[in-house]
Homo-oligomer: A and B are copies of this chain.
Amino acid sequence: MENSCGNSRIVGCSFSVHPMSDQFVSYIKTSLQEVDTSKVWMHTDDVTTTVRGRMEHVFDVTKAILLHIAKTEVHVAFQGTFSIGCPGDSSGDVYMDETTERMNEAETRDIQQYIAAKFSLYPMGGGNYMDTIYSQIEAMKEKGVTVSPAHYSTRLEGDTHDIFSGLEDVFRETENSGSSHTVMTVTVSANSPTHKEKKS
């Protein structure tokens, strides 16, 4: 459980992607072949996949997996829990030495994908984070993301790149504000039947 948090600044994300299709295995495998995961520790079991490493690579890889599935136009849901400050072990620490260049940015940059998302931020370790969060949400709005309140979360609608960069920013700035252990949950729906009229 959450009782012994280490000092490593490694970021982890336990996530699942769910293509709503009889061919879900094929969608996932094809996406994974297209994503460069060389800069993150990665492990998959029957419930979730966990990636761990530098913050930018964790967001880069999770976004790329989502985009490579969503670009096929299948309805896909993504659910991820991003965590920093409670690594639990050191098996991924070697990945903290990777360079900052994002391995999937060039491949995914041109994939335009509308998504609806909800996120919740749980700063477990103090810090002066409320002003930070509000200013980051304002920054998301300026990028063109639609932000609205939802039960137990904040709702975001817009392009996948804008939303993921906004989520990465709010997560990083919460960390920087002094929270020793921060958790952020993100739920995404892409190509939902109810989104058809909104897609570009």
- Interface of A toward B, CB cutoff 8 Å: 1-3, 12, 14, 16, 18-22, 24-25, 43, 45-48, 50, 52, 75, 77, 79, 81, 83, 86, 88-89, 116-118, 120-122, 124, 130, 133-134, 149-155, 183, 185, 187-189, 192-195
Contacts and interface: CB of A to CB of B under 8 A. Distances in A.
A130 B20 contact: no
A151 to B, nearest CB: 4
Kindly report how many copies of this chain are found in the complex they form together. Answer: 2
A155 B47 contact: yes
Given A77-B18, A187-B79, A25 B152 contact: no
A79 B16 contact: yes
A185 B16 CA distance: 13
Contacts of A151: 12, 14, 43, 50, 52, 88-89
Nearest to A50: B151
B47 A187 contact: yes
A12 B152 CA distance: 8
A116 to B, nearest CB: 5
A194 to B, nearest CB: 5
Contacts of A187: 14, 16, 47-48, 79
B155 A193 contact: no
Contacts of A122: 2, 122, 124, 183
